[in-house]
Amino acid sequence: MVIAPAPSVPEINLYTAHPGSGLWRLVGRGEAGEEPPYWAYRWAGGMVLARYILDHPETVSGKRVLDLGAGSGIVGIAAMKAGATSVVAADIDENAVIAIGLNAALNHVPVEAMLGDLTIGPPPAVDLIAVGDLFYEPSLALRVTAFLRQCLAARIQILVGDPGRAFLPHAHLLPVAEYPVSDFGEGDAIERKPSVVFSFIEAEE
C-alpha cells in the first residue's frame, strides 16, 4: 500500500492499493464467493460524500455521525475534519476495519471503527448517517433502503453518495450536490464522472 491524497479530496491521505500490493492474498485467490478488498480502492460515492462534507462542514458540525459501509473510512475522516462530535465507521470486512483505523490515524482524527452489519439492527444513536455506494446489488439495496427508512422515522438525517448505480432507491432520493470524481477501479488518468450527493427522504405515496 502507498500513502496518497485522495483524488478530488486532497485534504485526506489514504493507504491506497496499487498493482504490487497483492491484496488478494488477504481473501484467498479471488475464487467464486470471495469478496474483493473493496476497502482498498476509491469509490465514487464515498469520494463525493467526503468532498461535500468538507465543502459544507455545517452538515456534520457538532453531530454524531455513522459512516455506513465505510470501506477506507474516507467519509468518516472527512466528517471529523469538518467538526463532527464523533464518528462510527462500520463495515462487514474485518480488513476494512483495520484500514479505517490506519487511515484515521494517518489523518490525525479519531474514528471508531466497527465490524458488523448494522442494517439488521435498530436505528443507531447518531444524528446523521452517510451512505456511499451501497446500492450496487439488489438484495443489499433493499436491505439498506429498509434500514434507512427506519432511521429516517427515528429522525436521523441521511446523506447518500452514488454515481448512479443500478439499484438506487430513486423515490427516496433528493439531489443536493454533484461533483466529478473517479470511481472504483479507475486510475488517476481516467476521466472523472459526475457523482451525486442525495438527501434520503420518505417517498411520497
Would you tell me the crossing angle of helices 94-106 and 74-81 to the nearest 10 degrees?
Answer: 30
Residue 30 has pLDDT above 60, yes or no: no
- H or E, element range at 47: helix 44-55
Does the global pTM surpass 0.75?
A: yes
What sign results for the dihedral spanned by CA atoms 96, 98, 102, 104?
Answer: positive
Q: What is the mean pLDDT of residues 93-117?
A: 96
- Write out the H or E segment, with its range, that includes residue 186: none
**What's the chain's average pLDDT?**
88
Beta partners for 91? Answer: 115
Q: Which has the higher per-residue pLDDT, 38 or 161?
A: 161
Pairing mode, strands 64-68 and 128-132: parallel
Q: Residue 33: pLDDT band by 50, 70, 90 thresholds?
A: very low
Helix, strand, or coil here: 192? coil
Alpha helices in 56-93 (DSSP H): 74-81
